Each structure stands twice: as C-alpha cells, then as structure tokens.
Structure 1
Amino acid sequence: MPEPTYVRDDFFIDGRWAAPSTGARIEVISPSTEQVIGSVPEAGPADIDAAVAAARRAFDHSDWPWLTLAERAAKLRALADALSDRVDALATTITGEMGSVISYTRTGQAPAPIMMLRYYADLADSVALRESRTGLMGDWTIHKQPVGVVGAIVPWNGPIFLAMYKLAPALLAGCTVVLKPAPESPLSAYLLAESLAAADIPPGVVNIVPGGRETGRYLVRHPGVDKIAFTGSTAAGRAIMADAATDLKRLSLELGGKSAAILLDDVDLDAALPGIVFGVCQNNGQICVSNSRLLVPRSREKEIVEAVSAAMSGQIVGDPFDEKSEIGPLVAERQRDRVLGFVEGARADGATVTVGGGRPDGLDRGWYVQPTVVAGVRRDQAIARDEVFGPVLSVLAYDGDDEAIDIANDTVYGLGSAVFTPDLDRAERMALRVRAGTVNINTHITDFHLPFGGWRQSGFGHEGGPEAVESYLQAKVVGPY
C-alpha cells in the first residue's frame, strides 16, 4: 500500500497548530482506489477539552461576542477571501476523500461555502440585535445575544459546505465554535483551518478537531458547550438528543430524509427528467434531500418508468477526477454494500430492477454502484421507507392526487420533496399538503438564502437564511425604564 499523500500531525486549537494528546490516527481511504490517501490525528478527550477551553476563553474573555455585526461581517469576508485562494485545492481534496465527482466539487462543494460566508456578511445589515417594546409595566429593551460555545458536528458528504451552514451564521451571531469533521473526510477541514489562520480569525473562535463517534459524543456531553449543531443520520440525532439532555443543551438537528418527487398526471416528462435524475444522483446519491421516491400516476407508469430508466442508464459512472464522470463511488465499502442490500431486498420482495442494481462493468476497484431504478415498489418495503443514500430511485404508482399525498406523507421523515407539473397553482396546492420542510416545484435545488430544516424525524431548527442566525442568538429582556 502506498504511503499517505496527505499527512497531518496536529489540530487547529486556539488559533494555532496543536500537538495531539494521543497517538491515535485516522486513515483516509480513497473511495475510488481503496488506497490510503491521508492520515490525521484522532482527537481524544484531552484534545476536546483543550478545544472547548479555547472556545470558552474566546467567548467569555475576549471581545469577539461584543464586536459589532459589521466587524464580525468583515471577518467573514476575510475568511471567504482566504477560502477563495484555496478553492481548487478544496475541490480536489473533497473529491479525493469522499468521491464526489470533480465537476460537482468545483461548481458546488468548493465555491458554495465561500458564497455562504459572503451572504451572511451581507446579511449583517439587516440583523436586529436590539428592540424596544412597551409592556404592561413600562418600556423594555430586548437584546439578542450569542448562545455561547457551539459544538458543530458535520458529516462526510458535504464536509465544508455543511460546516459553513453552521459556522457562518454562528460566527456572525458572535458564537465561538468547536468543529468536529467526520473521520471519512477530515482532509478538507485542514484547508479550512489554514484559511481561518490566513483570515486572522481571533484565537479560539473556531477550533477544528477530527474524530469519530466517541469524539463526537464527548463533545456533545461536554459541560463547556452551550449548543450542538449536528447534521447526520436520524439514529445519531436521537443519541445526541439523549446526551444533550443531561445539561439541557440547545440543539439544531438536520437529520435523515426520504424525499418524494410527485409527478402529476399532466407532467411534461421531457422537461422533468433532468430534475428527476439530478434529484437522485446529485453527489452520487449521497444527499439527505435526495428525491429517492418517485411517485407516478398509474395511468402513465409504464411510460415514465421507461423514460426514467433510459435517463438513469445514460449517466456516466467513473473515476471522480474524470471531468466526464457524472457519478463517482460511494464513500465506503459499507455504504456500497448497504445500498446494494436495499436493491436486492426489494428485488426479492417482488419489485423489478429496470436498470442498474449492481456494480458497473470495468470498475472492479472502488465502491461504485450503477444508477438504479426499482419499479413496482410498495410503500411498505424497506427501500421505500429507509434512507438508502445512493443513486437508487424507487418508483411507486398512485391513483389520484389524494393517494399521491398519502404516499408522500407515509414516512417518518419530512425533509424535502418535489412536485412536477406545468400547472403552478396545482403544484402549490399539492406542495402545501406535503409534510416537509422544503417542497421544490419542477426542480431539485437547495438555496442557502432560505431556511432549510426538517419536520418530524428529519430534525428541527433551521440552517440557511436569516433564520439560521436566530438559532445562534437568545433573547435577554432588560427593564423596565
């Protein structure tokens, strides 16, 4: 096995590179070559203690929480500039560590965090931190103040984008942060750390300590942390809620999804196909808002299945560094086996795999899965109920709009959905009946200028938009005057 190509022996704590407390290491495996491509230290309890202490000092004893919004916005812009200097390295690093195709990392994964920082910097002008109000006993002032130290735990599928969903609004609000990247994708976090240093973000304001599940649990339970912001699975979210309950930490949880794309009976199929395919294949199918359930009118089921199968089979699967590749490997062998297990389970239970369903020809190395369409799926099957997290589309037929809504809402999740129809009034009526935080119309998109969050077991709280800043602030009432 070749030597790692990216080796770090330190953490970013208190504005400097700090030696780890133990010799524990995380090896980063390329999902396309199955070779070790990097190695970083794994944070233990003493490292988390040091990171939290640094964040605590920066919040309790520095002027960071007391800066004006404009002053903190200037720091966000400086960080955006520093990340811009590393945008190419960021794209190639993310492609290497988690397999997202290079065309996607260059257009989405790498530039989006920079855009997000600039959006929140510009938002500073409209955030109100002070309000006067008259109550029964006189005049009062309501002050919005930062929550405190935030433990931010992010997954591997959007390592810097999802980190910035937390960092940008938290920093604008005046919080300090301990960021724990996922063990599958810690390499890009070091580029973020270098950018923090280059932007002269004050010591302790952001600290970065990679680690696995136990590292995350120690951070969640740490008494020096005031809030946990987490993106990940619903199962992990439940465990975090239980651990955070010990000292009643504030939480924002963006969890799993099982999104439904509803094609109405008047759908323009040619116009809808790009959104359908992107909705399930974006980021190799490894997104929480994947439209992995396609609900189709029974009267057009055969036509739609044929068209969607042809479109999915046309997707180019290959080396994620190849500009022509549209779908790369899944992040890990366990993930590939899990996805193929769902497909085989559905096939054994009577569903029909119309395209894909296995490993692509000629790609014997790497954790690749063919773009797959499974037709004739029933709503009670596991592939229709559980989050698959791969390029797999399940097709369920319905009779009438009411049944379509019933099937769409027959899930414990409520993160995203979509409605495809040229009739926009009808689309909005359907969208209002879907129990989900976001319902796209004739497209598949997530816009960080808008509040993004889940209903039911997809979590609570919002990321994106001004609502995200509110989640890092708390009200203090002063008066009466």
Structure 2
Amino acid sequence: MAKIPLEIINTSELFIGSQWRQPASSSTVEVMSPHSGKLIARLPEATIADAQLAVDAAAGVWDEGGWADLAPSNRAEFAQRWLDALRAKFEALSAANAGQTGMPLTLAEAMTDSGLVLVEDALALATTIEFVEHRETATGAVEIHREAIGPTLVIGTYNGPVSGLGMSVVPALLMGNPVILKLPPENYLVGAVIAAAAHEAGFPEGVLSIFAADADVSKYLVAHERLSAVHFTGGTKIGAEVASVAASRIARVTLELGGKTAAIVADDVDLDEVLPVLVGGAVSNQGQMCIASSRILVSSERHDELVARLVESFKALKIGDPLDPKTEYGPLAAERVRDRSLAFIERAIAEGATLEYGGDVPEGLTEGIYLRPALLTGVKNSMEIAQEEVFGPVYSVIRYDDIEDAIRIANDSKYGLYGTIFTNDPQVASLVSSKVRVGQFSIGGRFPSLAAPYGGMKQSGYGRVGGLEGMLEMSNIKVILPAAEAGAAV
C-alpha cells in the first residue's frame, strides 16, 4: 500500500466566527514532520488578538440570541451538515492527524471513524432531551427548562481532535452554546481540515471558531470574562491551573485529565490471547494516550514470562513513517515528549528500576522524533515512574502478591481515569472492577467507551463528556414557577 498524501488546507486564513478571516498579524508557524524533520507547511499563527476576535464573535451571537434561540432541530441541521462534510474529508482528516502528530495512519483512521460516530451519536441523543419538562413537586407544579450556558471554550488535546468534536464541541453547539475550539500546535493541519468542513456547513456568523495556537492563547481565553464555560482536556497540572483561573470568575469547568492505567494480568489467562490487546493498549499512539497501560501488574510467578513476551512483542513492532499504512508505531508528536520520556527513564533507573528494552532511537530514524518503547522492571509503585503520567512510550512492570494486592496497587495512584484486568474468572473480574476507583474499567482490555459518559476520578478530573450525561453538562437548568391558583397555599 502506498503512502497517503497530506492535503494542506488554507495557508493564509483563520476560521473565526464561522468565517475564514485574515489573521491579526503576519506571523506564521512552521509545521514540521515528526518523521523526517522536514518542513511540511507554513501556516498563519493565531495570536491573542485573533482569540479576542473569536470571543467577540461568540459573545455577539450570544447576546443577540441568534444561536441559542434557534429550535434544537435547526441547530441539529447545521451540525448534520458539518458531519457530512467531515465524512467527505475522512482521508484528509486521518492523514493530517498522522502526518503532524506521528499517529500511525491505521490508528488515525480508526480515531477519525470513532470521532464521527460520536458526532452522530450526539445528534441522536439531542433528539431525546426534554428542553422543557413539566413536573409535579412536593410544593407544586414547575417547568424545568434546559438552556444554553453561553460562549464555551473547548481546549482539545493533540491525540484526539476528531473525537473531541463528538464528545464536547457538537454537544455544546446542540445545546445552544457558541463554541471556540482551541487546538494545540500539534493540530495545525487537522484543525484546518476540521475548520474547512465547518465552513462548508455554513454555521451562522459568530457561532463557531476553530484554530490551533500556543499556550499563551489558551491562558488568555481561560481567563476571559465573556466565556461562560471551559471544557479542558490535557495534563493534570495544567488542568488544575485552568480550574483555578476559571474559579476566580465562577465559570463552568469540565476537566478530562491524565491517567496512570493499571493493567492487571491474572494468572489464569493465556498470554498468547492477552498480549496483542495488552501491547496495543500500551503502545497505541506511542503511549501518548491518557488511558495507556503504563503500569502492567503481574504476579511474581508469571513476571519473568510476561516480561520476555513483552520484549518480543515490542521488538516485533513495525516502526516508521506514520503515513505508511503498514506502520504500527510512529514518531512522537514533539521533541518535548521524547525529552520528557528520556528524563523519566533516567530517573527511574536511578531509583532502582531496570531498563529491559527500548528507550533509544531506532536505527535509520534519527531525523525524526522517534523513541523505541521502553520497558522497565524492578519498579515499585512508590517510584516516580509508577506515580506520574509520562504521556510517552515508557511502561513499568510491577509485581503483585495476589489479586487484593493488585487492587491496592492499582488504587495507589492520584489518578483515576481507566483500568483493566485480563482474567477468565467472572468473580475476579467483578471484584476488581468494583474495587478499582476509576471513571471507566474494562474487563479484557477493551478501549474505553467514549459514547458513554467519559471522565475520571481523583486527579483525573471531574465532570463528564460523551453520552447523555456529557450532553446535559453543556446546559443550565432554569425552573419556572407557574402562577399559583387562586386560594392555593404559598
């Protein structure tokens, strides 16, 4: 199969207020290939001045009521046209995601497909919502209205730009909120494709802005008094800063933050069956996934066997150009990710861990941002490498004594996003899934359900995206008290 070509869309304008506009400055950014290190494109840089234009556009349409006052079915028509345009750009979306972030094309295609399914699901869920509900309460009849919150900022993460559309952006729009989607610098290419599809959908002026930018723009937007809600996906440290700034102006906040997934391998499983799923859950997108199985828990009896099999599996990965459909493992999204991963490995070894495999640059791929998956043994759960999210290809194998000990280790973490167990025993599966404190738990390594309410516990965040609960989180509740009947008690 041949490499998929990259399509560069709109190299001179930014999508602000539902329109392509000239940027506020002439400054540009260089988009580099993480595979070759070569220049892909020069694109306009979104600055704070451009962010202010996006806020002005969203605030304007909010103040006029032009979007929130539309019937839900009318808002859905625009979202449906956007979905249709995104589907028509499936290949361009996937290639742009792979070409700039290093995500292998087959995974990028799967992520694009699942993201579009989530948009479709949001459209279906919106038809089930009672925007006005009549209810009898202990103190009389009331009307419960679900209304828009106001201009909403969605800050996405580079590993799931299309998924974020279905989990946050489209639900916010369907509930009547103007939206500013601010993507990270690693999403310049895919962001432009997403924006081009939104332009084809013909959203009313002011309703939707989409652009990638650096952290200074994010900070400016999070602090902006005209933005009523912030949906942030990213690291826990930055998420805490977002929450703190938003709290100072009592803005609504939803946080989908980091994770430190414990993948528990029980003694009763066949490793031939488990390994493909276990390895996939670890190295998918080179470990740049909040749900990556970065802590692999195994009994002392099977420890050596599992480590040997993991090394074999890591060695067998086809590493290379993310735009080659045969590639299983690509480059990292940015130099800082590799630098951070290498620093974690160095400190883990200094604490007493052993590097069993990887942690180096593959031969022949020195021009890109490559790092072989690193497998560490001799890791204690108290070590930094077991406690902090790397968001890179560094994996710890941790011994447990029995299943109760495995549960203890899994819960000995400030994170609580996702967990999994591999077992053939339904009773063990039920016990562990009920005891591990995470937002989603999988039996058998299934990828999280993003169409169900998705989010974490503890320092993995609060609030939910996806599913009906995520949709309702994009709304305010107003209670209207009808006039009391003559003679009624008050």
| Alignment TM class, shorter chain as reference | over 0.9
Match among 78, 100, 116 for residue 97 of structure 1: 100
CA distance in 2, matches of 1:439, 1:395: 19
Residue in structure 2 matched with residue 460 of structure 1 by the alignment: 462
Preserved CA contact (<8 Å) 2:353 2:376: yes
For each residue in 1:78-99, what CA deviation from the matched residue of structure 2 results, as whole angstroms up to 9, or x when unmatched? 1111011111111111111111
Name the CA distance, whole Å, in 1 between partners of 2:106 and 2:481.
55
How much does 1:7 deviate?
6.4
Residue 77 of structure 2: which of 74, 77, 80 is its match? Answer: 74
The yes-or-no answer on 1:41 pairing with 2:49 is no
1:186 to 185, 188, 191: 188
Contact 1:421 1:442 in 2 (8 A): yes
1:291 to 2:293 alignment: yes
Normalised to the residue count of structure 2, the TM-score between the two structures is 0.94
Q: How big is the shift at 1:160?
A: 2.7
Structure 1 length normalisation: TM-score? 0.95
RMSD: 1.7
Write the mapping of 1:217-228 to structure 2, written as runs, cut at 5 A: 217-228=219-230
Correspondence for 2:169 among 164, 167, 179: 167
5 Å-filtered alignment, 1:196-215, equals 196-215=198-217
User: In terms of mean alpha carbon deviation, does 59-68 or 352-361 score higher?
Assistant: 59-68
d(CA) in 2 for partners of 1:6 and 1:142?
44
Residue 411, structure 1, aligned to residue 413, structure 2: yes
Q: 1:386 aligns with which of 367, 385, 388?
A: 388
Q: Secondary structure at the match of 1:185?
A: helix
> Aligned equivalents of 1:142 and 1:7: distance in 2?
44
- Give aligned pairs, total: 477
* Matched residue SS, 1:417: strand
Match of 1:134 among 130, 133, 136: 136
Distance 2:478 2:298 in 1: 50
Per the alignment, in what secondary structure is the counterpart of residue 9 of structure 1? coil
Residue of structure 1 aligned with 2:123, choices 121, 124, 129: 121
Aligned residue number for residue 342 of structure 2: 340
2:267 is aligned with 1:265: yes
Q: Deviations over 1:181-237 (max 9, x none)?
A: 111222211111111111122221111233211100110111110000110111111
> Residue 488 of structure 2 corresponds to which residue in structure 1?
none
Q: Say yes or no: does 1:88 pair with 2:91.
A: yes
The residue matched to 1:296 in structure 2 has which SS? strand
Equivalent residues of 1:31, 1:367 under 8 A apart: yes
Looking at structure 2, the residues matched to 446 and 61 of structure 1 have their Cα atoms a distance apart, in angstroms, of 39
Letter matched to residue 148 of structure 1: G
Aligned to 1:14: 17
Moved more, 224-233 or 123-132: 123-132
Equivalence for 2:486: none
Q: In 1, distance between residues paired with 2:337 and 2:77?
A: 41
- Please give the alpha-carbon distance, in whole angstroms, between the structure 2 residues aligned to 1:362 and 1:26: 28
Q: CA deviation at 1:254?
A: 0.6
Give distance in 1, aligned partners of 2:220 and 2:105: 34
Residue in 1 that maps onto 2:352: 350
Shift of 1:163: 4.1
Is 1:116–1:168's contact at 8 Å kept on the other side of the alignment? Answer: no
Pick which of 17-26 and 260-269 moved more. 17-26
Q: Which residue of structure 1 lines up, in the alignment, with residue 4 of structure 2? A: none
Instruction: Describe the superposition over 1:392-414 as per-residue Cα deviations: whole angstroms up to 9, x where unpaired.
Output: 22100010122111111111111
Q: Which residue of the partner structure matches residue 422 of structure 1?
A: 424
Q: Is the 8 Å Cα contact of residues 152 and 163 (structure 1) preserved in structure 2?
A: no
